[in-house]
Amino acid sequence: MKKTAFKLVLLSAVAIAAASASFAAEKLKVGFVYVGPVGDFGYSYQHDQGRIAMQKALGDKVETTFLENVPETDSERSIEQLARSGHKLIFTTSFGFMEPTLRVAKKFPGVKFEHATGYKRAGNVSTYTAKFHEGRYVIGQIAGKMTKTNTLGYVASFPIPEVVAGINAFILGAQSVNPDVKVKIVWANTWFDPGKEADAAKALLAQGADIITQHTDSAAPLQEAEKAGKFGFGQASDQARFAPKAQLTAIVDNWSTYYIERTKAVLDGTWKSTDTFGGMDADMVHLAPFANMPDDVKKMAEETAAAIKAKKLNPFKCPILDQDGKAVECKDGKALSDAQITSMNWYVKGVDDKLPK
Amino acid sequence: MTSEMFQLILMTVVTAATPLILAAIGELVTERAGVLNLGVEGMMIMGAALGFAGAYASGSTTIGALCGIVAGTLMAALFGLLTIGLAINQVASGLALTIFGLGLSGLLGTGFVGLKRDAAPQLHIQGLSDLPYMGELVFGEDPFVYAAILLVAGTAWFLSRTRAGLALRATGDNHQSAHALGLPVRRTRFLATLFGGACAGLAGAYLTLAYTPFWSPGMTAGRGWIALALVVFASWRPWRIVLGALLFGGATVLQLHAQAASFGLPGQLLSAAPYLATIVALLFLSSGARRNAAAPAALGQPFIAPR
């Protein structure tokens, strides 16, 4: 008799636990997959800031999880792990997660996926990215004005469309104010290796570059510029704290609005597979305070940024010549189309580099 | 090529090679005693995190370097307790140590992310450091570089010229015989493991105190693994570590300079150059010296004293 009573108590305890678990499960579980550490103070850090803002805005309706330092080549099981553990919305935030995301999405049709910077979608996979190139155009103008050697240095990561579009916009911006300017490019072939990024910046400085910009994730190249008494830009996040004398401005990624909007859509049941390509007008890209530059350069930068924001200026306005001097077809009438930008695999005229294929 | 550029490129090579030399020379001693510690990356990143934390809190690069050494040593002590004390599999423990170090350093370093300090000062000797082509390269490096060279010289001397060095090598080649001779196998191995940890910790501290003076999780970016490969590359001889590290660091840095100078070679191929160079060098080294360059015979074998 006693045993039965004990069993009953045990059973009801289990039932209560199960009930509270299912109650807790009513919270929408949202997962994030980052390629770098959240402490990189750059790309992954900004995504995590977006996650935190979303968690704050939606409070106890959501529960967020993130996985950091997930290698692109081995990301499928990380994404799948999130899907298996009840996450109903998963943001995968690096280009290389594209195929793994699509494979996992096929296995979990009930889970919504959001892939950043890619171009392949499915019924339950959206893509989103920001027009980083708008910011690159502005910093290109600043660099073109500030350089004394007419040589700019660019530390690049991998030859994917986002990076190539960034290089092109930077050069077009620089050329728009300084026709004699040259850009030297070094491919570091990594997103995050501070030592190697610093070495790449040193190589560019040694070749006479006096303004350094980077499309890798650490502040090391900016710090090298400061050490050499030259100038640079922050990448993905305001990095002035690393180089207060060298940072001219920084291109800051702002994912908060997007993450809040998309998570709300899942909560409301209005989520649909879409492709978002927001720029400075949608505040997905903004620039850190302009510093360490003369007033006339600052004024020019502010005006350019305002014009882009008001959609009066398009960095990829036509005519645009490719590396061989041939005019590029403008599928959007007066400018390159979004599709042309997100699949960019060619250089504009004036780039002193061969695109690795 | 101007004198400044020549020096600048070579100095970048030295900077890239120094953390590899430091970590590899420590692992070399550990392995010569018969212990294979695959946790170099984990010990190194702990040295990087705590080295930066110590230097930031105290304002002294020296104290930071000491903190890095202590962090690496503690990690190695943990490894030693498991593998030498409890005779647990060394490969598995080493891998676990790396994963543990990467995680723990991220946790301990949280409060130091986004802070910066000035890089370790470089030596300057009036007259000598200003000599063209070689002055700064020889007389203008940061203290870690000289420490690395001294460590290699000291290790080479210790292993080949001292009685204790001979005992250490005997332990690594045949622990049963060493035990029969009355040599303290476990103590020797434990101390060698601690030395390896101290060096890896110093290598990590070099990253955050001199190379790129800020802390960021995961910033060792695989250098611990390269150090492990360098020990094999050097066929367990101290001075060859320097050669290998300069070769590897040199290939890494020179390909970046080749890109900046627009030689028109494809970036990916250039990025693979250091690894290709290492493979080629390995082929050369192993073909001629196969008979006497072998690994310590008891490498990776746990020692349990016969009763």
- Asked whether the bond before A319 is cis by omega within 30 degrees of 0, the reply is yes
Sorted by where each begins, the domain ranges of chain A are: 27-130, 132-253+284-313
> Residue A33's closest CA among A113, A126, A128?
A113
User: Above pLDDT 70, what percent of chain A?
Assistant: 92
| Mean pLDDT in residue range B69-93 | 95
Chain centroid to CA B244: 12
Is it true that A27-130 and A132-253+284-313 share their CATH fold? yes
**Cα separation of B26 and A47, whole Å?**
38
pLDDT at A8: 45
Please report which confidence band the pLDDT of residue B3 belongs to, taking 50, 70 and 90 as the band edges.
confident
Residue A2 pLDDT greater than 60, yes or no: no
A37 to each of A129, A294, B97, how far by Cα in Å?
Answer: 20, 35, 19
Q: Which residues contact B288 (CB under 8 A, 6 or more apart)?
A: none
pLDDT at A17: 45
Give the model confidence (pLDDT) of B5-54 as tens digits: 788 888 889 999 999 999 999 999 999 999 999 999 999 999 999 999 99
pLDDT at A6: 47
CB B42 within 8 A of CB B226: no
The beta-carbon neighbor of A39 closest among B9, B12, B113 is: B113
* Neighbour tally for A127: CB within 10 Å: 22
SS3 category, A346: coil
A183 bridge partner residues: A152, A351
In A, minimum Cα distance to B14 occurs at A199
SS3 category, A99: helix
| Mean pLDDT in residue range A238-246 | 92
pLDDT at B264: 65
CB B209 within 8 A of CB B67: no
Query: Sign of dihedral through CA atoms B207, B210, B211, B215?
Result: positive
The owner of tokens 């294929």 is A357
B100 Cα to chain A: minimum distance (Å): 14
pLDDT at B295: 81
The mean of the pLDDT values for chain A is: 89
* Neighbour tally for B238: CB within 10 Å: 23
Q: Which CATH class is domain A132-253+284-313?
A: alpha beta
Report, in angstroms and rounded to the nearest whole number, the Rg of chain B calculated over CA atoms. Answer: 20
In B, minimum Cα distance to A204 occurs at B260
Give the model confidence (pLDDT) of A86-137 as tens digits: 999 999 999 999 999 999 999 999 999 999 988 899 999 999 999 999 999 9
Neighboring chain B residues of A204 at a CB cutoff of 8 Å: 260
Question: Under an 8 A CB cutoff, do B211 and A198 touch?
Answer: yes
> What is the enclosing helix (H) or strand (E) of B274?
helix B267-288
CB B142 within 8 A of CB B202: no
Neighboring chain B residues of A202 at a CB cutoff of 8 Å: 8, 12, 256
User: Above pLDDT 90, what percent of chain B?
Assistant: 58
Q: Which residues contact A11 (CB under 8 A, 6 or more apart)?
A: none
| Mean pLDDT in residue range A282-309 | 94
**Cα separation of B229 and B226, whole Å?**
5
Question: Under an 8 A CB cutoff, do A202 and B106 touch?
Answer: no
Neighboring chain A residues of B116 at a CB cutoff of 8 Å: 223, 241-243
- Which of the residue ranges B12-26, B47-61, B192-206, B283-297 would you say has the lowest mean pLDDT? B283-297
A116 bridge partner residues: A128
CB B105 within 8 A of CB B80: no
Question: Under an 8 A CB cutoff, do B8 and A204 touch?
Answer: no
Give the model confidence (pLDDT) of B125-176 as tens digits: 777 777 777 777 777 788 899 999 999 999 999 999 999 999 999 999 999 9
B295 Cα to chain A: minimum distance (Å): 31
Is A27-130 a CATH 3.40.50.2300 domain?
yes
Residue A4 pLDDT greater than 60, yes or no: no
Query: Sign of dihedral through CA atoms B211, B216, B218, B221?
Result: negative
Residue A23 pLDDT greater than 60, yes or no: no
Give the model confidence (pLDDT) of A221-232 as tens digits: 999 999 999 999
pLDDT at B117: 83
A119 to each of A97, A102, A261, A316, B181, how far by Cα in Å?
Answer: 11, 11, 20, 19, 68
- Which of the residue ranges A322-326, A328-332, B132-136, B185-189 would you say has the lowest mean pLDDT? B132-136
Chain centroid to CA A349: 25
Neighboring chain A residues of B217 at a CB cutoff of 8 Å: 37, 39-40, 68-69
**Cα separation of A166 and A68, whole Å?**
25
**Cα separation of B155 and B159, whole Å?**
6
The owner of tokens 């060859």 is B240
Please report which confidence band the pLDDT of residue A37 belongs to, taking 50, 70 and 90 as the band edges.
confident
**Cα separation of A153 and A167, whole Å?**
11
Neighboring chain B residues of A197 at a CB cutoff of 8 Å: 212
DSSP state of A229: T
Q: Side-chain half-sphere of B229: how many Cα atoms within 13 Å? A: 16
| Mean pLDDT in residue range A153-166 | 92
Domains of chain B with bracketed CATH: 3-294 (1.10.3470)
Query: Which residues in A have their CB inside 8 Å of a CB on B?
Result: 36-37, 39-41, 68-69, 153, 159, 184-190, 192-200, 202-204, 206-207, 209, 218-220, 223, 227, 241-243, 352-354, 356-357
**Cα separation of A282 and A258, whole Å?**
9
Query: Which residues in B have their CB inside 8 Å of a CB on A?
Result: 5, 8-9, 12, 15-16, 19, 102, 106, 109-110, 113-116, 119, 207, 211-214, 216-219, 221-223, 252-253, 256-257, 259-262, 264, 266-268, 270-271
SS3 category, A127: strand
> What is the enclosing helix (H) or strand (E) of A39?
none
* Neighbour tally for A325: CB within 10 Å: 8
**Cα separation of B299 and B284, whole Å?**
23
Q: Which residues contact A5 (CB under 8 A, 6 or more apart)?
A: none
In A, minimum Cα distance to B13 occurs at A199
Neighboring chain B residues of A209 at a CB cutoff of 8 Å: 260
pLDDT at A265: 95
pLDDT at A15: 46
Neighboring chain A residues of B10 at a CB cutoff of 8 Å: none
SS3 category, A213: strand
> Residue A251's closest CA among A234, A263, A239?
A234
The beta-carbon neighbor of B262 closest among A41, A353, A357 is: A353
Q: Which has more confidence, A217 or B278?
A: A217
Please report which confidence band the pLDDT of residue B235 belongs to, taking 50, 70 and 90 as the band edges.
confident
A84 Cα to chain B: minimum distance (Å): 23
CB A31 within 8 A of CB A65: yes
Residue A22 pLDDT greater than 60, yes or no: no
Mutate to test the interface with B, among A191, A196, A353 (most CBs of B within 10 A): A196
Neighboring chain B residues of A41 at a CB cutoff of 8 Å: 113-114, 216
* Neighbour tally for A247: CB within 10 Å: 26
Averaging pLDDT over each range in A118-122, B90-94, B302-306, which range is the top one? Answer: B90-94
Tokens of B216: 């960021």
> Residue A198's closest CA among B156, B213, B93, B60?
B213
pLDDT at B152: 97
SS3 category, A153: strand
CB A194 within 8 A of CB A218: yes
| Mean pLDDT in residue range A224-251 | 93
Question: Under an 8 A CB cutoff, do B16 and A199 touch?
Answer: yes
> Residue B251's closest CA among A57, A8, A199, A277?
A199
The mean of the pLDDT values for chain B is: 88
Torsion of CA B23, B29, B33, B39, to 10 degrees: 0
Neighboring chain A residues of B267 at a CB cutoff of 8 Å: 159, 186-187, 189, 356
CB A29 within 8 A of CB A61: no
CB B22 within 8 A of CB B199: yes
pLDDT at B43: 97
The beta-carbon neighbor of B114 closest among A41, A202, A203 is: A41
Averaging pLDDT over each range in A151-155, B231-235, B294-298, which range is the top one? Answer: A151-155
